[in-house]
């Protein structure tokens, strides 16, 4: 078979590991010819593709990013975009496509599958907010990076008796904030799922410091929102999938905390550091398992399906199940742990 791959959306540690596994099994076991569309769906529309082989992926297992490149292009938002994708598959003689991405990339894959495209999905996002899979690769790496940062901020916070606000990624879901916040012993964790009241945050900090604690760490997901009327946030531009470009809640929060409590406050925005660099061992293994499962799915004709992790096993689920609804933080995990921290 002639099998194509693409990587779409934000990059993620482990993307190369997925493709390496696909190519290894595809070429060596199934005798496939592998190609890659460059820069996500944009490469399909613009017909930019390159041959891929076992050789192409030598040395890439520990390498972050994606050697194929990525973009946030949405064919359904471009004139003739869908037709261009369909033509590309026919004229480039692609028998099957493996789309590696998050809700946006896989959402496009699901819609194109409805129009006849032979596609298999692989779930990717450091945010870990895709439904139907317990974990996405990249999440473990992001949590590790954020936890290390929080560990480091503890000592400088204590030395200066400061409040440290740490902004982590997480547009619609606070998985990174909750996991790194718990692992790093944060004082407070603010996530998009639970709008926060700035007054409650500041009162809790005052209570904690009055009780003799001399420093605090507040972990905030970039998509965290204040309760209505609590705090005003600036409006921002949107991408082709309609997502607001985030980043900045940390600054607003730090300013408010300092003003309302009088405690010296600093902010660290981790940003894309969480997405860059080498994947953890866990993510390399998960990515490799997903890659093997994806090429197997192609050869079983399991189109319109996504490979997923459930109860430790790799399974197949309909693409629509993965992109229908975001997976948010388990309220038991948040309330059972985060509220405990709020107490002091
Ligand atoms: O989708 C993953 C993610 O890392 C989000 O957490 C973040 O909001 C977004 O990507 C940032 O996107 P970009 O790299 O396009 O600024």
Question: In terms of Cα–Cα distance, which of 137, 136, 131, 83 is closest to 107?
Answer: 131
Q: Which of 42, 126, 142, 171 to mutate to test the pocket of ligand 1 (most atoms within 8 A of CB)?
A: 171
Average pLDDT over residues 58-73: 97
Backbone angles phi, psi at 188, to 5 degrees: -150, 150
Query: Distance from the CA of 42 to the center of ligand 1, in angstroms?
Result: 18
> What pLDDT does 69 receive?
98
> What pLDDT does 338 receive?
66
- Are 155 and 253 found together in one domain? yes
**Is 341 part of any domain?**
no
pLDDT for 307 beyond 90: yes
pLDDT for 203 beyond 60: yes
> What pLDDT does 228 receive?
76
Q: What is the CATH number of the domain that holds 181?
A: 3.40.50.460
Q: What is the CATH number of the domain that holds 96?
A: 3.40.50.450
What is the CA angle 24-30-33, rounded to 5? 75
Burial status of residue 228 (CB atoms within 10 A of its CB: 0-12, 13-18, 19 or more): exposed
Q: Which of 10, 125, 237 to mutate to test the pocket of ligand 1 (most atoms within 8 A of CB)?
A: 10
> What pLDDT does 292 receive?
98
> What pLDDT does 54 receive?
98
pLDDT for 339 beyond 80: no
Question: How many alpha carbons fall within 13 Å on the CB side of residue 144?
Answer: 15
> What pLDDT does 343 receive?
45
> What pLDDT does 246 receive?
64
- Are 127 and 10 found together in one domain? yes
Contact of 127 with 178, CB cutoff 8 Å = no
Average pLDDT over residues 272-290: 97
Question: In terms of Cα–Cα distance, which of 196, 210, 5 is closest to 95?
Answer: 5
pLDDT for 244 beyond 80: no
DSSP state of 122: E
**Bigger pLDDT: 289 vs 210:** 289
- Are 59 and 185 found together in one domain? no
> What pLDDT does 245 receive?
64
- Are 112 and 223 found together in one domain? no
Nearest-atom index, ligand 1, CA of 170: 6
Residues with CB under 6 A from ligand 1: 9-10, 102, 125-127, 169-171, 222, 245-246, 275
- Are 222 and 294 found together in one domain? no
DSSP state of 295: H
Task: Determine which residue's CA is closest to atom 13 belonging to ligand 1.
Answer: 10
Nearest-atom index, ligand 1, CA of 169: 6
Average pLDDT over residues 253-260: 96
- Are 6 and 126 found together in one domain? yes
- Are 103 and 202 found together in one domain? no
Average pLDDT over residues 42-56: 98
Task: Determine which residue's CA is closest to atom 14 belonging to ligand 1.
Answer: 10
Mean pLDDT of all residues belonging to the chain = 93
Average pLDDT over residues 198-209: 92
**Bigger pLDDT: 229 vs 92:** 92
Going by pLDDT thresholds of 50, 70 and 90, the confidence category of residue 242 is confident
Average pLDDT over residues 173-194: 95
> What pLDDT does 214 receive?
78
> What are the structure tokens assigned to 340, written together?
């405990």
> What pLDDT does 1 receive?
98
Contact of 9 with 124, CB cutoff 8 Å = yes
As a whole-number percent, the residues of the chain with pLDDT over 70 amount to 94
**Bigger pLDDT: 90 vs 243:** 90
- Characterize 189-214 residue by residue with b for buried, 16 or more Cβ atoms within 10 angstroms of its Cβ, and e for exposed: bbbbbbebebeebbebbeebbeeeee
- Are 90 and 179 found together in one domain? no
- Characterize 247-275 residue by residue with b for buried, 16 or more Cβ atoms within 10 angstroms of its Cβ, and e for exposed: eebbebbbebbbebbebebbbbbbeeebb
pLDDT for 29 beyond 50: yes
Average pLDDT over residues 56-68: 97
**Positions marked active-site:** 127
> What pLDDT does 239 receive?
75
Which residues lie closer than 8 Å to 330 by C-beta, 6 or more apart?
Answer: none
pLDDT tens-digit map of 104-160: 999 999 999 999 999 999 999 999 999 999 999 999 999 999 999 999 999 999 999
| Domain, as residue range, for 258 | 140-275
**Is 344 part of any domain?**
no
Query: Distance from the CA of 158 to the center of ligand 1, in angstroms?
Result: 31
**Is 339 part of any domain?**
no
Contact of 167 with 140, CB cutoff 8 Å = no
Average pLDDT over residues 98-103: 97
- Are 151 and 81 found together in one domain? no
Average pLDDT over residues 156-181: 95
Strand partners, 5: 36, 98
105 three-state secondary structure: helix
- Beta-sheet strand order (sheet of 313-318): 49-52, 33-37, 2-7, 96-101, 119-123, 305-310, 313-318
Q: What is the total count of domains within the chain?
A: 2
Query: Distance from the CA of 204 to the center of ligand 1, in angstroms?
Result: 30
Query: Distance from the CA of 323 to the center of ligand 1, in angstroms?
Result: 17
Q: Which of 169, 275, 277 to mutate to test the pocket of ligand 1 (most atoms within 8 A of CB)?
A: 169
pLDDT for 294 beyond 80: yes
Query: Distance from the CA of 212 to the center of ligand 1, in angstroms?
Result: 38
Average pLDDT over residues 30-48: 98
């Amino acid at each position: 078979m002639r099998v194509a791959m693409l990587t779409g959306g934000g990059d993620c540690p482990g993307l190369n590991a997925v493709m390496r596994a696909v190519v290894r099994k595809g070429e060596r076991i199934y005798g496939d010819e592998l190609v890659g569309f460059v820069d996500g769906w944009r490469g399909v529309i613009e017909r930019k593709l390159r041959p891929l082989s076992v050789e192409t992926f030598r040395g890439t297992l520990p390498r972050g990013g994606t050697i194929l490149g990525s973009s946030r292009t949405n064919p359904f938002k471009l004139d003739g975009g869908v037709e261009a994708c369909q033509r590309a598959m026919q004229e480039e003689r692609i028998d099957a496509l493996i789309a590696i991405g998050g809700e946006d990339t896989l959402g496009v894959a699901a819609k194109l599958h409805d129009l006849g495209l032979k596609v298999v999905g692989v779930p990717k996002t450091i945010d870990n907010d895709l439904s139907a899979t317990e974990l996405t690769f990249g999440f473990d790496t992001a949590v590790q990076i954020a936890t290390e940062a929080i560990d480091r901020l503890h000592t400088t916070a204590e030395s200066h008796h400061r409040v440290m606000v740490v902004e982590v990624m997480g547009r619609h879901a606070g998985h990174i904030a909750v996991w790194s916040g718990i692992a790093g012993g944060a004082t407070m964790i603010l996530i998009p799922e639970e709008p926060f009241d700035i007054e409650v945050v500041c009162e809790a900090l005052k209570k904690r410091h009055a009780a003799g604690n001399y420093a605090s760490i507040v972990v905030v997901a970039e998509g965290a929102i204040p309760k209505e009327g609590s705090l005003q946030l600036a409006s921002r531009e949107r991408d082709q999938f309609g997502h607001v470009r985030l980043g900045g809640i940390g600054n607003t929060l730090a300013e408010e905390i300092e003003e309302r409590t009088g405690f010296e406050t600093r902010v660290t925005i981790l940003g894309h550091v969480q997405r860059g660099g080498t994947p953890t061992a866990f993510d390399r293994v998960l990515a490799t398992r997903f890659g093997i499962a994806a090429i197997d799915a192609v050869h079983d004709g399991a189109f319109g399906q996504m490979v997923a992790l459930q109860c430790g096993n790799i399974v197949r689920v309909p693409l629509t199940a993965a992109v229908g609804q975001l997976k948010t933080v388990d309220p038991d995990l948040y309330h059972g742990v985060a509220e405990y921290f709020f107490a002091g």
